Amino acid sequence: MIALFKRDFKLALRSGGGAAIALLFYFAVVISMPFAIGPDPILLSTIGGATLWIGALLASLLGLERLFQSDAEDGSLDQMLISTVPLGGQVFIKSLVHWLVTGLPLTIMAPVFGLFLGMSQDALLASMATLAVGTPAISFIGAVGASITVSLARGGLLLSVLVLPMCIPVLIFGVGAVRAAVTEPDPFLPPFLLVAAISLFFAVIGPFASALALRQGAS
Amino acid sequence: MTIVDSPNIPRGLTALANPTRFLALVRIVLPFLTLITVILLAIGLWMGFSVPDDYQQGRTVRIMFVHVPSVWMAMGAYMVMVSSALGVLVWRHPLADVAARAAAPLGACFTFLGLATGSIWGRPMWGTWWVWDARLTSFLILFIIYLGLMALWNSIEEPARSARMAAVAILVGAINIPIIKFSVDWFTTLHQPASVLRSDGPTLAPEFLYPLFTMGLAFLFLFLTLHLMAMRNEILRRQIRTLQRKATRDIRAKKQATT
Amino acid sequence: MKLIASNIAVIRGEDLILQDVSFNVSAGEALIIRGENGSGKSTLLRAIAGLLPLEVGSFSIEDPTNGFGGTTHTDLCHYLGHENAMKPAMSVGENLVFWQEFAGQPHLDIDEAMDMVGLDGLQDVPFAHLSTGQRRRISIARLLISYRPIWLLDEPTAGLDAASEKQFSELMKAHLEDDGIILAATHIPLGLDSTKELVFGAIK
């Protein structure tokens, strides 16, 4: 499993791995927001948290299509299925690597991009915190979608259709927590903890369901 | 729904004979189910229209008699799909995928009906067609899940594989069902809390409760009727597919024999 | 050791591909699976590897001497499919090190295995730069770096030139002498002595 972690990490960082592209895509989404709704600083800072979250969600989905597809194409997936290493564990590792090379960089860059949206310091910190605990959920849910659509030539679109509704709770509470951090009476902690809970929940369910789909899909 | 035209079918494949028996059963049962559905719907609608106006909601209370049963069936159809998904993955029963696949469009329709009637009721009562509260949002997600599953079924060409992939997706999507049910208890929502299916008995007045139950029963039978019809169509569709495949195989064999 | 298959039936997609397939292979023996395209050679190998579910029948391992008896047979198998299972973006050495760590039970070290397939010295070259035959030989080297007694080979010599084919048949001979088992789907002679054959007819 450590070997798998090292290999996937290496592959993601090399050319064609897509880690840098996800970050660029994130930046593009965030900076197109002011053009879409106009450069009103108050409006921009109000929806800043939402923009950062939507961008992170879309950017995370971007690389998911290839999560198992490249392995399926070159025959590595067959070896993974045969292996004595538990398949659920392998999926967990692959999802974890996906998060480390997309979700984590997005989280770290979020405050920088947030400056373009004129967000307050509290909102920036809150965005970073919620993204840090929320983006893993996207990777783990996404792994299920990726394993279901692995055999499809253009599975990316279908993957998004399947995964996005499952991500909506994360989005709701993530953005809710950011808003709560800025508006006074609302407490930040409950929605924040809910996001963390959803991530933990999918960290367990996701690899399990994904492994099931990969096994059932083998032919 | 593979029909293996081989003289000595292995033991595990005998279940494949089932669809034929199922079709025969459907042919007998369907007329009765249709009749029951029509009668129940007629009684239910009549009862629904003859209830007095509610002191708060006025005439709009009658929307409930369509709204609530639709929502029940929207979730019921999903539960049918969940048990079918288990049937696909655990027992690999050939009818299980047919059942799941036939239930999806019906579930989507009932979900749409639930959303639409809720919206029509919400306009005069809440003053808006739509609010983003937990119950409504989770129910909208159910609608998207239905559509996504239908897209998934259609994207994977090979029936056996699409069945298994859809089954996994159905099971993962099942998380949404308890969220819909308990969203009104867990979060402060605009949608009223449960008044019928609750642990301490219904809080709805009996004059509204009876028509509601009649309509609920009518919708249940409506679902059963439509589901059986859809399953029958799906089986026939697959049999045609098998015949077509066999026809192409035979022609190919003939060509080889002549050359 | 003995691999026993009894009454295997496999459905793939909508078609019953294999039916009533039974055989047994003992240590030191090779089973060559022959047949036309689409007759079920690959299907059988994938089923043995555990990639396809069996409709009926079973595989079992009998092994009174080495204590492998009762182990899941898939844990004793190397599977060499049509694809090479190597990442073009990584070097040959990185690829092989990964598979050795991933599969466990290290056997030969990477340099030795590379030498056996005649490609020693290419460890640092990206896999993408290799020719088709060289890629196949690296894929064969994967069989040597982790130990598995049973080799499942699907068209193992595809893309190999005559010299490499000969080299590969020497490798297989060594594996058989080592009390290994080989099951190979192919339509060209592999140059082995003690072989059994399983011939599939054309599909109905």
Determine which of A98-112, B16-30, C43-57, C117-131 has the lowest per-residue pLDDT on average. B16-30
Domains, chain C, in order of start with CATH, read: 2-200 (3.40.50.300)
pLDDT band at B16 (very low <50, low <70, confident <90, very high): very low
Residues of A in contact with C84 (CB under 8 A): 74-75
C11: amino acid identity, one letter: I
| Inter-chain touch A11–C74, beta carbons under 8 Å | no
Per cent of chain B over pLDDT 70 is: 86
Predicted pLDDT of residue B59: 76
Residues of B in contact with C13 (CB under 8 A): 158-161
Q: Report the distance separating Cα A73 and Cα A78, nearest Å.
A: 10
Asked if B259 contacts B78 with a C-beta cutoff of 8 angstroms, the reply is no
Average pLDDT over residues A185-213: 90
| Model pLDDT for residues A83-110, shown as the tens digit of each residue | 888 999 999 999 999 999 999 999 999 9
User: Whole-number mean pLDDT of chain A?
Assistant: 87
User: Whole-number mean pLDDT of chain B?
Assistant: 83
Write down the domain spans for chain A: 2-217
| Model pLDDT for residues B50-77, shown as the tens digit of each residue | 877 777 777 778 888 889 999 999 999 9
- B90 DSSP assignment: I
pLDDT band at C178 (very low <50, low <70, confident <90, very high): confident
Predicted pLDDT of residue A146: 92
The pTM score is 0.84
Asked if C79 contacts A76 with a C-beta cutoff of 8 angstroms, the reply is no
3-state SS track over B132-164 = CCHHHHHHHHHHHHHHHHHHHHHHCCCHHHHHH
Chain C: touching chains (3 or more CB pairs < 8 Å): A, B
List Cβ<8 Å contacts ≥24 apart for A118-125: A118/A41, A118/A44, A118/A45, A118/A48, A119/A45, A119/A48, A119/A49, A120/A45, A120/A182, A122/A181, A122/A182, A123/A45, A123/A48, A123/A49, A123/A178, A123/A181, A123/A182, A125/A181
Nearest to A57 by CA among A142, A123, A184, A121: A142
Chain B: touching chains (3 or more CB pairs < 8 Å): A, C
Determine which of A29-33, B57-61, B199-203, C168-172 has the lowest per-residue pLDDT on average. B199-203
Q: Report the distance separating Cα B114 and Cα B117, nearest Å.
A: 5
C67 touches chain A (CB under 8 A): no
pLDDT band at B188 (very low <50, low <70, confident <90, very high): low
Asked if C4 contacts C56 with a C-beta cutoff of 8 angstroms, the reply is no
Which has the higher per-residue pLDDT, A111 or B190? A111
**Distance, CA of B15 to chain centre:** 24
Predicted pLDDT of residue B240: 87
Average pLDDT over residues B1-16: 41
Our CA angle for C26, C27, C29, nearest 5°, is: 70
Q: Report the distance separating Cα C135 and Cα C88, nearest Å.
A: 10
| Model pLDDT for residues A160-170, shown as the tens digit of each residue | 888 988 888 88
Average pLDDT over residues C63-87: 82
pLDDT band at C139 (very low <50, low <70, confident <90, very high): very high
Residue B10 has pLDDT above 60, yes or no: no
Distance of residue B168 Cα from the nearest chain A Cα, in angstroms: 6
Residue A41 has pLDDT above 70, yes or no: yes
Q: Report the distance separating Cα A156 and Cα A171, nearest Å.
A: 20
Determine which of A133-142, B64-73, B247-256, C122-131 has the lowest per-residue pLDDT on average. B247-256
Which has the higher per-residue pLDDT, B34 or C120? B34
- B62 DSSP assignment: G
Cα–Cα distances in angstroms (integers) from residue A88 to residues A133, A219, C50, in the given order = 21, 19, 16
What six digits make up the tokens of A12?
């993601």
| Inter-chain touch B158–C14, beta carbons under 8 Å | yes
Our CA angle for A61, A62, A67, nearest 5°, is: 85
- B193 DSSP assignment: P
Residue B196 has pLDDT above 80, yes or no: no
Tokens 């409930």 correspond to: B64
H/E run at residue C25: strand C15-26
Write down the domain spans for chain B: 19-191+209-253
pLDDT band at B7 (very low <50, low <70, confident <90, very high): very low
pLDDT band at B199 (very low <50, low <70, confident <90, very high): low
Residue A16 has pLDDT above 70, yes or no: no
Across B190-194, C39-43, C65-69, the highest mean pLDDT is recorded for C39-43
Predicted pLDDT of residue C69: 64
Predicted pLDDT of residue B12: 41
Average pLDDT over residues C123-144: 90
Residue of B nearest to C53 (CA): B92
Distance of residue A31 Cα from the nearest chain C Cα, in angstroms: 32
Average pLDDT over residues A32-48: 83
- C18 DSSP assignment: E
pLDDT band at B15 (very low <50, low <70, confident <90, very high): very low
Predicted pLDDT of residue A219: 67
Per cent of chain B over pLDDT 90 is: 34
Q: Report the distance separating Cα C13 and Cα A219, nearest Å.
A: 8
Asked if B170 contacts B100 with a C-beta cutoff of 8 angstroms, the reply is yes
| Inter-chain touch A148–B168, beta carbons under 8 Å | yes
Residues of C in contact with B245 (CB under 8 A): 14
Strand partners, C2: C26, C62
Residue B1 has pLDDT above 50, yes or no: no
Predicted pLDDT of residue A15: 64
Predicted pLDDT of residue B76: 93
Nearest to A59 by CA among A48, A51, A71: A51
For residue A75, give the nearest of C77, C83, C104 by CB distance.
C83
Asked if A218 contacts A81 with a C-beta cutoff of 8 angstroms, the reply is yes
Distance of residue C99 Cα from the nearest chain B Cα, in angstroms: 28
A40 touches chain C (CB under 8 A): no
| Inter-chain touch B10–C13, beta carbons under 8 Å | no
Predicted pLDDT of residue C204: 40
Asked if A51 contacts A117 with a C-beta cutoff of 8 angstroms, the reply is yes
Per cent of chain C over pLDDT 90 is: 19
Q: Report the distance separating Cα C186 and Cα C198, nearest Å.
A: 11
A64: amino acid identity, one letter: L
- Counting every residue, how long is chain A? 219
What six digits make up the tokens of B170?
């159905």
What six digits make up the tokens of B69?
């049963």
List Cβ<8 Å contacts ≥24 apart for B147-151: B147/A161, B147/B108, B148/A158, B148/A161, B148/A162, B148/A165, B149/B81, B149/B104, B149/B173, B150/B104, B150/B105, B150/B108, B151/A158, B151/A161
Asked if A128 contacts A49 with a C-beta cutoff of 8 angstroms, the reply is no
Predicted pLDDT of residue B201: 66
Residue C70 has pLDDT above 70, yes or no: no
Average pLDDT over residues B242-247: 83
For residue C19, give the nearest of B6, B242, B253 by CB distance.
B6
